[in-house]
Amino acid sequence: MYYCGITNDMERRLKEHSKKGKSWASKVGIIKVEYISKFDERKQAAKMERKIKIYGVSKFMKYLRVHNKVKF
């Protein structure tokens, strides 16, 4: 399973997700970070997150591996 999200502080976000709680990630558990992309504006990051989620996070990760690309 993959999680897709936006943050401006990766360490803090991973700690939040690893704490016991009601969030999806805390129940499933994050094993490792596979892909990070940086954007100048949060609006750009949100647009990319939406594209990835519409396409499907698993399909997006497969696309990156098969084509050895980081652009979508």
pLDDT tens digits in sequence order for the chain, 72 residues long:
788 889 999 888 888 877 767 677 777 776 678 888 899 999 999 999 999 999 999 999 888 888 876 554
Residue-level pLDDT at 44: 96
Query: How many independent structural domains does the chain possess?
Result: 1
Domain-located, residue 5: no
Domain-located, residue 19: yes
Residue-level pLDDT at 39: 94
Residue-level pLDDT at 41: 95
- Measured CA to CA, the distance from residue 61 to residue 64 in angstroms comes to 5
Domain-located, residue 45: yes
Angle (CA) 4-30-21 rounded to 5° is: 95
Domain-located, residue 1: no
Domain-located, residue 21: yes
- Reported pTM: 0.72
